[in-house]
């Protein structure tokens, strides 16, 4: 049987009720003891690297997770990461860039209710994750949740309380798990070995436009970061009138070597700045990057990874448009 390492990081799945609300407290041994059938199809092992509410996740936590995977890679056939749902999509995205082309599966999962509750979704999610990690076709970074297998760069939490918390945005699910069986829809070719790149640049900011927003907010965001993700309206429209003054701010910081990525506030179908003048005019005037159908989580994670590798504008552009784990299609 395959050896699978569970990396416990906290989250709702490991939480207990306290005087001030739920907080992580269960050990990885306790988690595994609640799903004994896992041992019927694999040999599980576990390690606790931190035990936090995922709201408190930082890039330093991401590096620690990736380091454990790197250091233990030759000892195990796959990895299951127990994680809080609130930032799981960010962690799945950033691991997709830090550990690329992994022939061994790196599965993230969690739950909407603690695993020790009678009505929990944690036991089935944990079982399904180990089942998928033990399957022959599994590879790369994925989220397994409520029977769905989602590419690590395509997942988004779309519900705060329901069990069906995650969807795959603008890309099909890789597989489904039903009645203890993995039904594969998309088979990812396996590489011979992974590529580890564990440095991140956390100086990446996101600002979402609102009608009447002062351009000084964008100016501050550029000042504090090496790259800014500007979330526009519709297909990627950015106001171009004198009232807003966004063009002046963008020109000022682009001359100083800052990176700008334009995306859309709309969850599905992505951006296309060529359609309207308010998008095309900006793209024609400035050397910006357009996110197309990438998720917020993947854009931010990819920029953190890229800017830790290079500061050269052309290299940034090349790496940004290089598809990783299905993050950018077309």
Q: How many residues does the chain have?
A: 330
Binding site residues for substrate, as ranges? 54, 85-86
Rounded-to-integer distance, Cα 87 and Cα 156, Å: 9
- Classify residue 33 as exposed, middle or buried by CB count within 10 Å of its CB (0-12, 13-18, 19+): exposed
- Residues sharing a CB contact under 8 Å with residue 153, sequence separation 6 or more, in sequence order: 92, 93, 96, 141, 294, 295, 297, 298, 301, 324, 325, 326, 327
Annotated catalytic residues are 12, 85
Rounded-to-integer distance, Cα 137 and Cα 189, Å: 9
Rounded-to-integer distance, Cα 151 and Cα 130, Å: 16
Where helices occur in 43-171 by DSSP H, the ranges are 59-72, 88-98, 122-133
| 181 three-state secondary structure | strand
Task: Give the count of beta carbons closer than 10 Å to the beta carbon of residue 163.
Answer: 16
Task: Give the count of beta carbons closer than 10 Å to the beta carbon of residue 25.
Answer: 15
CA-nearest of 222, 230, 287 to 253 is: 222
Binding site residues, as ranges? 54, 85-86
CB crowding 164-180: b at 16 or more within 10 Å, else e: ebbbbbbbebbbebeee
- Could you identify the residue written with the tokens 């079982």? 127
């Amino acid at each position: 049987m395959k050896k699978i390492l569970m990396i416990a990081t906290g989250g709702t799945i490991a939480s207990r009720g306290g005087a001030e609300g739920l907080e992580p407290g269960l050990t990885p041994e306790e988690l595994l003891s609640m799903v004994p059938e896992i041992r019927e199809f694999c040999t599980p092992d576990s390690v606790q690297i931190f035990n936090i509410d995922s709201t408190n996740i930082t890039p330093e936590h991401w590096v620690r997770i990736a380091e454990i995977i790197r250091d233990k890679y030759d000892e195990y056939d796959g990895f299951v990461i127990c994680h809080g749902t609130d930032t799981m999509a960010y962690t799945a995205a950033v691991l997709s860039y830090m550990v690329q082309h992994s022939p061994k599966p790196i599965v993230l999962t969690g739950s909407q209710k603690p695993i020790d509750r009678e009505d929990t979704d944690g036991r089935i999610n944990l079982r399904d994750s180990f089942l998928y990690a033990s399957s022959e076709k599994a590879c790369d970074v994925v989220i397994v949740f409520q029977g769905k297998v989602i590419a690590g760069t395509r997942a988004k939490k779309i519900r705060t309380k329901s069990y069906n918390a995650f969807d795959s945005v603008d890309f099909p699910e890789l597989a489904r798990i039903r009645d203890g069986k993995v039904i594969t829809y998309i088979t990812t070719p396996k590489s011979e070995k992974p590529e580890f790149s564990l440095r991140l640049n956390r100086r990446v900011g996101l600002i979402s436009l609102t009608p009447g927003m002062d351009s000084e907010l964008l100016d501050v965001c550029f000042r504090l970061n090496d790259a800014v993700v500007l979330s526009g309206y519709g297909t990627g429209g950015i106001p171009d009138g004198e009232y807003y003054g966004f063009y002046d701010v963008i020109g000022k910081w682009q001359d100083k070597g800052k990176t700008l990525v334009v995306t859309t506030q709309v969850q599905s179908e992505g951006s296309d700045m060529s359609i309207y003048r308010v998008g095309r005019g900006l793209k024609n005037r400035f050397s910006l990057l357009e996110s197309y159908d990438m998720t917020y989580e993947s854009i931010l994670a990819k920029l953190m990874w890229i800017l830790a590798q290079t500061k050269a504008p052309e290299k940034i552009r090349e790496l940004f448009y290089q598809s990783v784990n299905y993050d950018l299609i077309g």
